[in-house]
Amino acid sequence: MLAIFSPALAKRGFGPGEQDYEYVNVREGAHMFWWLYHTTANVTDSSERPLILWLMGGPGGSSTGVGNFGLVGPVDELLQPREYNWVKDFNVLYVDNPVRAGFSFVEDLHFLTTNISQIATDLVAVMKNFYKLLPKFKNTPLYIYGISYGGKMGVEFAQAFHKEIQEGNVEANIVGVSMGNAWISPIDSVMTWAPFLYQVSLIDETGFDLIDEQAKYTKEKLDNGQNMHAGLEFLRTQNLIEELTDGVDFYNILTKMPKSNRDDRSFDERLIAKFLYGKYEERGEIDLINLMNGPVKEALGIPSYVSWGMQAANIFNYLLEDFMLPVTDIVDDLLHRTNVEVHICNGNMDLIVDTPGQLLWIDRLKWKNKMEFVNASRTTTWVNNTIEGYQKSGGGLWFYWLNVAGHGHAVRQPLTHHVRKPALLKLSVAVN
């Protein structure tokens, strides 16, 4: 077992505000890193405001890097203050997950996770450590926020952690699991790519037929239990779309991609970069890599043998057989058996997890209070006298349609009008 540096709590860390951070030996050979930003809200103690557990997607994206500096933290990767950041209203706990993402690491590749059940078990160990070190948060409302694949990991963790709480193995107050463009039923996304692209005029009839045929082949592999092959066919479907559209941005179809960006690197390289860093541009990736492996690493006392953000390819490959499997049954279980709220936010310009695909799997859910959601009216979401989207709720489920919003950047601003009523807290997406 390697010796892990364990900083004292209540450190300043890196950047503004009070912070805590810690390594956790989640199991033999596997070490995970968490980093808490205490809220800067005007409260007597930070535990008076909700705690958000942030899970990045990919799998292999870093919460401490992309989630923090790239999306919702107090400063961006150029260390410029972010006009709105989640820490202004909430305590935000970034966990580099799964092991080997970000500053988390393994002593050998065979300690990597191969499915989300193992990922959830590791996260349970992390959160037990967190509450042991910071017991003041035991009664604080906990919301899990997962973006993309982080949503898939988030619902599995929510189910496992709820069980741990019920069995008395940990004291915590889990209230909701929220998802931004979440990878819950991957095949529903793949099967709706062709009609979505056709309806917005990004492909013609020939393109529709080719993509639809490849999507059906991907589904056939999944239906036959050939999960690894289904994952590979998913990648081939994406490459086909890349070819037919001459480089559509899978994360926001409104993005006009410069030709030079498409020529410099392969589609797979750019896609991984988007997963990891929230952008295609090489300059932004270098900025974040240098920041995390330079001043951030030094300020947090990260061991010299740990290198941030270079491990995602291994993580993705080890999880490829699990990648295309749905977790809709877990969402159903949370809604049917627990009081954990489920919030789903989706940007309507996202392709990789498109809204039509999300609505398909939601329609197939069977929880006991489903008709409350089905019969509910959809209402408009106004922000500063502007329509930012629509929402619908009932039976413990909230769904948010976000206008002109994409994937990786669709997590900027929570709706805070009910922040002092934790049961009504809704996490949403600002259009960017």
319/93 Cα distance (integer angstroms): 24
Whether the pLDDT of residue 414 is over 50: the answer is no
Whether the pLDDT of residue 311 is over 70: the answer is no
Query: For residue 23, which phi and psi values (nearest 5 degrees)?
Result: -95, 145
Fold of the CATH domain 19-184+324-424: Rossmann fold (3.40.50)
Over the stretch 191-243, which tens digit does the pLDDT of each residue have? 999 999 999 999 999 999 999 999 999 999 999 999 999 999 999 999 999 99
221/79 Cα distance (integer angstroms): 45
Q: Is 148 a catalytic residue?
A: yes
Lowest mean pLDDT among 80-84, 243-247, 368-372, 414-418: 414-418
Over the stretch 250-305, which tens digit does the pLDDT of each residue have? 989 998 877 655 545 555 555 555 555 445 444 455 688 889 999 999 999 999 99
Tokens of 301: 């006392």
130/122 Cα distance (integer angstroms): 13
* Active-site residue (options: 350, 354, 409, 428): 350
Lowest mean pLDDT among 147-156, 263-272, 364-373: 263-272
The domain segmentation of the chain, as residue ranges, is 19-184+324-424, 186-264
Contact of 49 with 91, CB cutoff 8 Å: yes
Over the stretch 351-362, which tens digit does the pLDDT of each residue have? 999 999 999 999
Question: pLDDT-based confidence at 423, cuts 50/70/90?
Answer: very low
Q: Is 260 a catalytic residue?
A: no
Whether the pLDDT of residue 418 is over 70: the answer is no
Q: Return the pLDDT at 5.
A: 45
Whether the pLDDT of residue 313 is over 50: the answer is yes
* Active-site residue (options: 46, 148, 189, 428): 148
* Active-site residue (options: 38, 162, 229, 407): 407
